[in-house]
Amino acid sequence: MSPDPADSGGRPTFLIIGAARSGTTFLARHLARHRDVSFSDPKETHFLAFPDQQLAFTGPGDAETINRVAVTDPTRWHALFDDAPARGEGSVSTLYHPDVAVDTIRAHCPDVRLIAVLREPVDRAYSAWLYQVGRGFETASFDDALADEGRRIANGWHHIWHYEAMGHYPSQLRPFIEAFGRDRLLVLDHADVELDPATALDRCFAFIGVEPQELGGLDAEVNRGGQPRSQALAGAMSRARRVEPLRQAVKKLVPFAVRERIRSANLDRPPMPTDARDRLRAAYADDGPALVDLLGDAAPRWARDR
């Protein structure tokens, strides 16, 4: 379904709703390169999950990340969207908080189309831990972080810290399907996006109602997680993110791709501990079949293979 040409903006026409650490930033950046697509800045506003809230998450780094950048005021949020034929927003908190997000979508963008990228949940959880390690916020081992997850959630750490909990996709997706219908939801397998990003983008273009467009340059990994090789470099980059004038200056002077290459080159990705993998596989044992029941042939391969 093509966007209504009479729609003059002020709201998104499509949402990338998640899942976290599944390539949503990659997808958003390249969709925004299309001549008929615009994207909110910031990509993750968190408005749909936290409308009219002043965020005060308490985990390490939460004050300078989600609490600082979130746009939860309705007027400010609507002002992020222009009159492009297709307009996107990409908050992974939307998928994780369907109890609030479904009602907010109904109130503010009821005709929006939804894109979900689903990653094998064990790998997704480990990727989230590596991401936080790479940013300098996570200091616990993966095993210890999983054991501590309940306390962290109870104490108000934001969703990126919910390593296991964010991977239970069936219960997160079902309210969106029930509210908006299966035809309003495009589900992508993270593995397919990595293997053939051009085809994944073409599927998105068709879904949001714009013509295909050759983009090129689709093989750059973004937001890679890992353990820093040089703590000095990691510390310098972390300080640059925390001081707003410096962050803006670096953002203006150094292209994103260059910043990402420097950051990624400083990261190692150690293998996942076996005990943690076994623990997560047990936690997600019922989710693969449930996802197949919910999505049918559109379920990711890793869910159908379980």
- One pLDDT digit (tens) per residue for the chain, 306 residues: 334 434 557 999 999 999 999 999 999 999 999 999 999 999 999 999 999 999 999 999 999 999 999 999 999 999 999 999 999 999 999 999 999 999 999 999 999 999 999 999 999 999 999 999 988 899 999 999 999 999 999 999 999 999 999 999 999 999 999 999 999 999 999 999 999 999 999 999 999 999 999 998 886 566 656 666 556 555 655 566 566 676 667 667 766 556 556 655 656 789 999 999 999 999 999 999 999 999 999 999 999 987
pLDDT of residue 245: 74
Q: pLDDT per residue over 14-23, tens digit each? A: 999 999 999 9
Burial 70-96 (b: 16+ CB within 10 A, else e): bbbeeeebbebbeebbbbbbbbbbbbb
Helix axes 256-265, 231-242, angle to 10 degrees: 140
Do 54 and 87 touch, CB atoms closer than 8 A? no
**Separation of alpha carbons 209 and 155, rounded Å:** 42
What's the chain's average pLDDT? 89
The yes/no answer on whether domain 14-226+269-304 falls in CATH 3.40.50.300 is yes
Helices (H) and strands (E) in the chain, counts: 17, 7
pTM for the full model? 0.85
pLDDT of residue 216: 82
Query: Which of 14, 41, 24, 73 lies closest to 222 in space, CA to CA?
Result: 24
DSSP, collapsed to helix, strand or coil, labels residue 141 as: coil
**Separation of alpha carbons 180 and 176, rounded Å:** 6
For the chain, which residues make up each domain, given as ranges? 14-226+269-304
Do 81 and 87 touch, CB atoms closer than 8 A? yes
